[in-house]
Amino acid sequence: MSTFEEKLDKYAELAVRVGVNIQKGQSLVINTSIDSAQLVRKIVKNAYEAGADQVIVNWNDDIVSRTKYELAPIDSFKEYPKWRARETEELAENGAAFIAIVSSSPDLLKGIDPEKISTFQKASGQALAKYRKAVQTDKVSWTVISAPSQAWANMVFPDAKEEERVNLLWDAIFKATRTDLDDPIQAWKDHDQILHEKVEYLNEKRYKKLHYTAPGTDLTIELPEKHLWIGAGSVNENGHEFMANMPTEEVFTVPHKYGVNGTVASTKPLSYGGNIIDRFSITFKDGRIVDYKAEEGEAILKQLVETDEGSHYLGEVALVPFQSPISQSNLLFYNTLFDENASNHLAIGSAYAFCVEGGKKMNSEELETNGLNESITHVDFMVGSSEMDIDGILEDGTTEPVFRKGDWAF
């Protein structure tokens, strides 16, 4: 049996060689919490061994972050540092790869003035617009992984002894990312192929609409004429493969901005802006959100929907079988990176340009013409369950089963 240190070595190698697939002479940027220092050091070592030119680590600390939200004046949240935005843009333009390590407590900012949170979300979204476009057009290689913090582990394993919780969360992360297997890199190649088989089927079908039904959900989503389903691996502008999320169990595409109608109910809590939004529903008419309610975190949901005009529309449709490994773990991670891979999900906000034919080379106007939404935000929320059915509707009106009782019907 592998030791923790051996698994952590494998995880770091996986992030570098599969996640961002570092090339010789390439720069790597790591955005991370100080809670992840042990993992970061191993990623840095792996990156240089793989030929990275330089590795830049941007550290943050949950306690420092919350202290600012508690004590700083609201005006301090209106400006995102211009130097940091320029640095990020320049690194992306020069072909750097980016790793984000998620570890913060899901309710880090609970009780904080929602206006402070939304003000910073808008400022950072606007400042990083060019970088976000580079990400959403696959110009750069990027990946999101995770590492436990004590506060996050406390939420996932409240019934375990406190001193055991972080190790339990590490075990769950290793299992979800296939790091616990003998050859994680080959396991990811095999997994990528399995998801591509679903992608190929859906791209051949060319469904015009998807119809979702489940308790609290009756939703129809029209798909753009030139939509493309994507699964697992992506390819950057230089032809190098990368894995944007680890773990990932989804295949996804874009909805037509103005083609979403009906109501959808959430099935898992959403951690957004350092707060939990739970037991919520959203109603759409001609694509636009016209009503929403939440039993917990409704004020935060309101701030999310009202981020900008584009945050009133959807930008992603993702299919994940209920029998996925993360779902079958029966763990609620309170972290979208994991929970979205246990459940069908949708995303409020911007659409990925690579989800339409030729989209990587389209400008904003051309993407809009093809039905894609634009926003300074992109937030996934979970809607799938073992009770969800999804039908695919073809151009001639023929209806075919895509999901039955939460799992693939083909």
Q: What is the pLDDT of residues 6-26, one digit of tens each?
A: 999 999 999 999 999 999 999
CA distance 350 to 339: 20
Q: What is the pLDDT of residues 363-400, one digit of tens each?
A: 999 999 999 999 999 999 999 999 999 999 999 999 99
Query: What is the arithmetic mean of pLDDT over 228-236?
Result: 93
CA distance 59 to 43: 14
- Please provide residue 153's backbone torsions phi and psi, each rounded to the nearest 5 degrees: -60, -35
Q: Is it true that the peptide bond before 269 is cis, omega within 30 degrees of 0?
A: no
Give me the residues paired with residue 284 across strands: 262, 289
Q: How many residues does the chain have?
A: 410
Give kind and range of the element (H or E) at residue 289: strand 288-296
Q: What is the mean pLDDT of the chain?
A: 96
Other beta carbons less than 10 A from residue 296's beta carbon:
14
pLDDT at residue 10 in the model: 98
Q: Which among 305, 290, 233, 303 has a CA at the least distance from the CA of 260?
A: 290
Comparing 261 with 325, which gets the higher pLDDT?
261
Residue 1 has pLDDT above 80, yes or no: no
Q: What is the pLDDT of residues 152-171, one digit of tens each?
A: 999 999 999 999 999 999 99
Alpha-carbon distance values, 14 to 136, 196, 201, 335 (Å)? 22, 20, 28, 20
Residue 350 has pLDDT above 80, yes or no: yes
Q: What is the pLDDT of residues 328-341, one digit of tens each?
A: 899 999 999 999 99
155 Ramachandran zone, left/alpha/beta (phi>0; psi -120 to 50): alpha
Q: Kindly write down the DSSP assignment for every residue of 201-246, as one continuous string.
A: HHHHH--SEEEEEETTEEEEEE--TTB--EES-EE-TTS-EE-SBS
CA distance 12 to 383: 31
Q: What is the pLDDT of residues 307-322, one digit of tens each?
A: 999 999 999 999 999 9
